[in-house]
Structure 1
Amino acid sequence: MRKIIIFTDSCCDLPISFVEENNIQVMHLRVNIKGKDIPDDLGVSISHKNFYKLIREGEMPTTSQANVSNFEESFRKFVKEGYSIIYIGFSSALSGCVNSARLAKEAIVEEIKDADITIIDSKSASMGLGLIVYYATNMLNEGKNKEEIISWIEENKLKVNHWFTVDDLNHLKRGGRVSSTVAIVGTMLNIKPVLHVDNEGRLIPISKVKGRKKSIRVLQGQLKERIVNPEQQVIFISHGDCLEEAEHLKDLILEEVNVKDVIINNVGPAVGSHSGPGTVALFFIGNDR
């Protein structure tokens, strides 16, 4: 039986310690900020603190996906070492990474007929993708085979709830997620949108809430209403350099819901370029999204 290696991309926003401990292969998206092209490598090349400091000072980063040749080179190395590859990718509605991975797979299979590469479109973003990778990694560590891991992901990926709020609508406006009018009026009236990721893997505004504290409480309410078997779940919270508010959301949740564990981490540069500083996001498993 072949050894299995799990691939993902840097939009997973997982803690680097977890990635390194479990030998997860991360394809790096890239961020151009202040004229420098930097890999999004989970906080190594640029700290999350410095990245958000630059945005607060007015820098407007742009992002680019991992390209076909990046995937081809990385996949080929492990195929030649006899691995089965499972790549769990950032939502295809938000990035072309999954498509790049598919093209790389086609090129490799043409050359190495028995190459075993599975490409999964997670339809997820940030630590929603991270949550799927986390569970897949735990299954691998428990000795589950490739088919069991892939089957679990496909059965459960559309149960991964993504609920988040942003502090500044202008970043979403730049990415075409909200209109200029909504951004201007919302900013004037201190309106904070609550958004989620739908079954197609798209960012969808759900409601508008007046004030930051209320918007964070709405996230807690969504979890309370939608989570299944909370005592068996590790839930994830990601944030755009606003740890105190992420911790506050954790406290609100633990006051009312008994979950197995809560893992908090930063929103990395690739996602944070579009959501901006002050983003707070919550991820857990429900019956559906």
Structure 2
Amino acid sequence: MADYVLVTDGTADLPGRYFEELGIEVVPMEFLMGETSYQHYSDAREMSFDEFYTRLKAGEKVSTTQINYYTYEKVFTPILEKGLDILYLCFSSGLSGTYQASLLAAETLMEKYPGRKIVSIDTLCASIGEGLLVYRAGQMKKAGMSMKELEAWVYENRLKVRHWFVVDDLEHLRQGGRISAAAAILGTALGVKPLLSVDTEGKLVNTAKLRGNKKILETFCQKIETDGYKSSEQTVIVGHAANPEMAAKLKETLLERGLIGDAIVADIGPIIGSHVGAGMCALVYTSDKDLVKE
């Protein structure tokens, strides 16, 4: 049986060293800022996180696109030419058309390389939630799990990932159609920040309104305490969009209370950052229960 490579995309906001350690390939994703198009890689080689958020806060407009066939071909072809199969964990179909594009690319490339297999899975996860699922999958692969076994594991666990995001800049949510203009203006005036999550269809949902960092920290702690599976043994991911102080405080609080085993702190990249704006802070972990459609 042929060996395989685990692949994900640029929205899986996991620090690059973890992809390297686990042998995971990453398909870059494109964003347009000013008049220039950039590819976002996990090491932010074409634009640093600092530069991106500095320019975003200065009012520059950003647009993003789904991954096209030629980008998939560039990443997948060298793997296939080595006689290896591909297990691709893709950004949520509830937030992008990338998954459908990956299926078309996989079909074309498997015709070009008969005998090779490309399996694309809709993770129904986003940002560091996708990153956490990929991280755990990478550990399973490194431990010797076969491609078929890992495919089954991902399907079994993708709805066990819990996403919690608090957004600081409501204007980007308004521009993306997530909240109304009136809600953005009122929320900004009152200092209210929405608590967002991801539902069973991989779509972003607004679950609550929070005011003040103390309330935000307490809410994150309460969420993992009630819904995390053996959370005191888990390595979770804390993500931030140019808000390292809040991320560090969240990690410190979770550790002090014995709610987690450890936390990876991750920068939120331009693909997600363009939609949530600077200041966002997030926590993802796993539960022992699937999300339930409400």
Same-fold status (TM-score > 0.5): yes
Contact 2:73/2:109 (8 A) holds in 1: yes
Aligned pairs for 1:1-289 (under 5 A) are 1-42=1-42, 43-286=44-287, 287-289=289-291
- Give distance in 2, aligned partners of 1:255 and 1:25: 34
1:2, 1:110 → 2: CA distance?
Answer: 17
SS at match of 1:12: coil
Alpha-carbon shift at residue 19 of structure 1 (Å)? 1.5
Tell me if structure 2 keeps the 8 A contact 1:162–1:197.
yes
Q: How far did 1:211 drift?
A: 2.5
Runs of 4+ with deviation above 6 angstroms: none
Q: State the TM-score, normalizing by the size of structure 1.
A: 0.96
For residues 53 and 77 of structure 1, the distance between their equivalents in structure 2, rounded to whole angstroms, comes to 36
- Give, in whole Å, the separation in 2 of the partners of 1:108 and 1:69: 11
State the shift of 1:149 in Å.
Answer: 1.0
**The residue matched to 2:11 in structure 1 has which SS?**
helix
Give the letter aligned to residue 64 of structure 1.
Answer: T
TM superposition shift of 1:220 = 2.0
Is contact 1:224-1:257 (8 Å) kept?
no
In structure 2, C-alpha distance between the alignment counterparts of 1:267 and 1:211, rounded to whole Å: 21
Q: Distance in 2 between matches of 1:151 and 1:269?
A: 31
Percent identity over paired residues: 36
The alpha-carbon distance between structure 1 residues 204 and 31, as it changes in their structure 2 partners (threshold 3 A), is same
Which whole-Å deviations, capped at 9, do the CAs of 1:41-61 have from their partners, x for residues lacking one?
122211111111111111121
> 1:5 touches 1:84 (CA, 8 Å); kept in 2?
yes
Question: 1:280 is aligned with what amino acid?
Answer: C
Shift of 1:140: 1.1
Report Cα offsets for 1:218-248 as digits up to 9, x if no partner: 1221111110112331100110011110111
Measured after TM superposition, the shift of residue 136 of structure 1 is 0.9
Q: Distance in 2 between matches of 1:165 and 1:217?
A: 12
- With 83-92 and 15-24 compared, the bigger mean Cα shift is at 15-24
| Separation in structure 2 between the aligned mates of residue 156 and residue 23 of structure 1, nearest angstrom | 21
Further displaced range: 223-232 or 251-260: 251-260
1:83 to 1:127, Cα distance in 2 relative to 1, 3 A = same
Residues 8-40 of structure 1: CA deviation (Å, up to 9, x unaligned): 001001111112233311111111112221111
* Residue deviations 1:63-93 (CA, integer Å, cap 9, x gap): 1121022113322321221111000000011
RMSD: 1.3
Pairwise CA distance, 1:4: 1.4
Q: Which runs of 5+ in 2 are unaligned?
A: none
**How many Å separate the matches in 2 of 1:73 and 1:30?**
14
Query: Unpaired segments of 5 or more residues in structure 1?
Result: none
CA contact (8 A) 1:4 1:83 kept: yes
Measured after TM superposition, the shift of residue 260 of structure 1 is: 2.3
SS in 2 for 1:71: helix
CA distance 1:224–1:4, change in 2 (3 Å) = same
Contact (CA 8 Å) 1:126, 1:271: kept in 2 or not?
Answer: yes
Deviations along 1:191-241, one digit per CA (max 9) or x if unpaired, are 111010011000000001123332232122111111011233110011001
- 2-side partners of 1:234 and 1:71: how far apart? 30
Deviates more, 1:12-21 or 1:274-283: 12-21
Q: Is the 8 A contact 2:255 2:262 kept in 1?
A: no
What's the offset of the Cα at 1:259?
A: 2.2
Matched AA of 1:52: Y
- Partner Cα distance (2:41, 2:146) in 1: 28
Instruction: Indicate conservation of the 8 Å contact 1:209/1:215, yes or no.
Output: yes
Q: Distance in 1 between matches of 2:155 and 2:258?
A: 27
